Structure 1
């Protein structure tokens, strides 16, 4: 395709999402880098960048997207807004057979839409090319520090969603005055990396896992915990990462040693439902269970953190878990409770920064494949549906799509 017209669509999902896949300045950059590219922007009164900001940089603001070859969104597109025969990029949340999106996939097939999901765009090694994970980690860690300070009356931070940009949020870092607590960060991907960015900029020192477990400090510290630090296979002595990811059901959690020394847990690790949970509700009732604040940044419902039974909202991000009763209570009810924050759309709290970061990834890692004939198969691997059919890689979704066939 020598010339491609890309349309940036208005987000239609409720609750609203203010992010955008391409920011005004990144549109200009993309146009300069790819001479065969043309970009239109659909008007939006919810986008974190105004229509005027696009128009001022020469990006046409156009309601009718039917003349575009490729349509870019962020969240799921409402079925009523899907244009037949088009190629769409967005997070469809269908590849795990999420029940609430079966009708969306059915409509995509019925309307002969080509669906390329950002989550399925990978390189040859299977590594994802675009994601909002870094900003989930950044906002999630900030929320965790905010929640800890509020729980113990140490300081009062402005919520991230009330900050215009990340720079405004970073001004709040100077208010943070922590006692010599220990903070555990699980995971090794984008989310954990974003969380550690915040802790580093707050001046919280990173220590080794050994020192974290066995030494005392006169200052707040954190440690990054990888899967091998808190999982073991009873019949194998040496840690084997490939085996853990292939057979997580054969492992047991050894996180108990961390619950005895950790005050604040920032959960950033991807969790496979076949893998053990970090700890059990019963363990929270043990006298030496020290964790009192948890930021479940990955927000897997009934997942690695057993206390996360539902997601919280950006305006009301926290709740208390009473270990004695096993019940949820209002946030900050009792010091003895465990205070949990579990927001599932964290990047939305800093939409302008998160959008810039995502747009950078799109330009660097996805757009080239629109113009080089997809030489590396990136778009092919990421295509879930095309011409009314599921692609072979995603044929396992057929029963999922058929489960709502004929429904209105």
Structure 2
């Protein structure tokens, strides 16, 4: 039986240039999974043109309503959602995001099976797909670019103007960093991208303890901070990582020593809304607060970092936060301000590289379960809605979906 897989045109504004599958990968899918036919929806914005798909013999058409499975990257506009289909995309609904409540309601009304990329995991619970590495790569690059512009010491070419990852990294070879102290949080995919950039630049790594002890280094240094470094139990008990993940509300922030010792902060750790903030707006007013540039790669608005008051854009990636007033100002407008990078679609600055990486993981780790036997329940676990209902794993969204 033939299964038709439709690759959707990105409809969210501003449009995203990424794709789930490159033209070459479409051919590979059809070869590896003989019962599957890939169909591309026409688009003027994706990083691979319609013609590049046609040249590979992949049908390109406006109407994809006869497809069984539909794949995009960002949220599909509500008006375009088709009854009873299986959809794959980043829905941004599972944290009860208010701006997408109607989207979740529509999945239920139209009996759509939504498979959210964000919760595709292996049998051990580890995420198997995402653009995290590229978010980290570009987020670190943008953080360094902001530091150079703020201090008027270098002007890196914007990542989206580079031909790809190779050229972006080449730009870093042209930079001579002063003895800056860089801290980044996390140890997942996003953090691995940040680490890749810092290692590429041969910046010296310090342990968190060494980082705090080194007030004025002779050359650039960085430290990787994990939850045990920036959070502590409220009751004074020993830190437990699994306990922190399960009961984040029982912890308080312990980040301030690093805020007093860091020039550039790159936030690359997942943040639970029940967990403590890294620091408060009040903390940012204190004389000892040293951070001058924050690259908030995770971009949780009004989340773990109070200066992230809105997302920025690829065209205008930076803004300044005035700690005294709590207001946003033009980037690099005052030395007293903190410069923020908060682009919420960073991988879209390197869309072709990011798409190839994403498609590779789809083919290797997701499609065997989607087009064969889902023995490890990979698709089942990531299905948020099915047959007009929330699945058991996502039943906590019921009140949210009902408008409460």
TM-score, L = length of structure 2:
0.95
Shift of 1:224: 0.5
Q: Specify the alignment match of 1:79 in structure 2.
A: 78
- Paired with 2:243 and 2:236, the residues of 1 have a C-alpha distance of 10
Aligned length: 403
In the TM superposition, residue 203 of structure 1 has moved relative to its aligned partner by 2.2
Q: What's 1:384 paired with?
A: 384
Counterpart in 2 of 1:212?
211
Partner SS for 1:366: helix
Residue of structure 2 equivalent to 1:26: 25
Q: Does 1:121 align with 2:140?
A: no
**Counterparts of 1:10 and 1:329 in 2: how far apart (Å)?**
35
2:187 corresponds to 1:203:
no
Corresponding residue for 2:87? 88
Residue 237 of structure 1: CA displacement?
4.6
What is the CA distance between 1:226 and its match in structure 2?
0.4
User: How many angstroms apart in 1 are the aligned matches of 2:313 and 2:201?
Assistant: 25
CA RMSD of aligned residues (A): 1.7
Alignment correspondent of 2:294: 294
- Listed one character per residue, the Cα deviations across residues 287-308 of structure 1 (whole Å, up to 9, x for unaligned) are 2221111111111111111111
Q: Distance in 1 between matches of 2:328 and 2:275?
A: 25
Aligned to 1:402: 402
In 1, the alpha carbon distance for the partners of 2:246 and 2:399 equals: 25
Instruction: Name which of structure 1's ranges 371-380 and 139-148 shifts more when overlaid on structure 2.
Output: 371-380
Answer with 103-112 or 138-147: which moved more: 103-112
Comparing 235-244 and 132-141, the one that deviates more = 235-244
Contact 1:155 1:175 in 2 (8 A): no
How far is the alpha carbon of 1:342 from its aligned partner?
A: 1.1
Aligned equivalents of 2:261 and 2:392: distance in 1?
A: 48
1:310-325 map, 5 Å: 310-325=310-325
Q: Residues 94 and 105 of structure 1 are in contact (CA less than 8 Å); yes or no, is this contact kept in structure 2?
A: yes
1:73–1:89 CA contact under 8 A, matched in 2? yes
Task: Flag structure 1 segments of 5+ consecutive residues without an equivalent.
Answer: none
What pairs with 1:76-225 in structure 2 (closer than 5 Å)?
76-215=75-214, 216-225=216-225
Aligned CA distance change for structure 1 residues 69 and 234 (closer, same or farther; 3 Å) = closer
**CA positional deviation for 1:241:** 0.4
Name the SS for the 2:353 alignment partner.
helix
Q: Does 1:229 align with 2:229?
A: yes
3-state SS, counterpart of residue 179 of structure 1: coil
Map Cα deviations across residues 19-39 of structure 1 (whole Å, 9 max, x no partner): 111111222222222222211
Q: For residues 399 and 285 of structure 1, do their structure 2 counterparts lie closer, same or farther at Cα, with a shift above 3 Å needed?
A: closer
How far the C-alpha of 1:130 sits from its partner, in A, is 1.1
Distance 1:161 1:150 in 2: 17
C-alpha contact (below 8 Å) 1:43/1:61 kept by paired residues: yes
Report the CA distance between 1:323 and its aligned residue.
2.6
Tell whether the 8 Å contact from 1:176 to 1:202 is kept in structure 2 after alignment: no
Whole-Å Cα distance in 1 between the matches of residues 45 and 385 of structure 2?
29
Deviation at 1:63, TM superposition (A): 2.1
Structure 2's unaligned 5+ residue stretches are none
**Partner Cα distance (1:303, 1:388) in 2:** 32
C-alpha distance after superposition, 1:223-251 (max 9, x if no partner): 11000011111434532101111222221
- Cα distance change of structure 1 residues 302 and 30 upon mapping to structure 2, 3 Å threshold: same
Q: Which residue of 2 aligns with 1:36?
A: 35
Is contact 1:320-1:332 (8 Å) kept?
A: yes
Aligned to 1:45: 44
Pairwise CA distance, 1:390? 2.2
Describe how 1:261-340 pairs up with structure 2 within 5 A.
261-340=261-340
The secondary structure found in structure 1 opposite 2:244 is helix
SS in 2 for 1:150: helix
1:50-77 CA distance string (max 9 Å, x none): 1111111221212221222111111111
* Secondary structure at the counterpart of residue 282 of structure 2: helix
**d(CA) in 2 for partners of 1:130 and 1:222?**
27
Counterpart contact for 1:369–1:379, Cα < 8 Å: yes
Could you say which residue in structure 2 is the equivalent of 1:351?
Answer: 351
State the distance in 1 between where 2:121 and 2:188 align: 15
Call closer, same or farther: CA 1:398–1:234 in 2, change over 3 Å. closer
Say if 1:49 and 1:390 are closer, same or farther in 2 by CA, change over 3 A.
Answer: same
Q: Deviations over 1:295-337 (max 9, x none)?
A: 1111111111111111112111111122333332211111222
Of residues 217-226 and 316-325 in structure 1, the stretch that sits farther from structure 2 once superposed is: 316-325
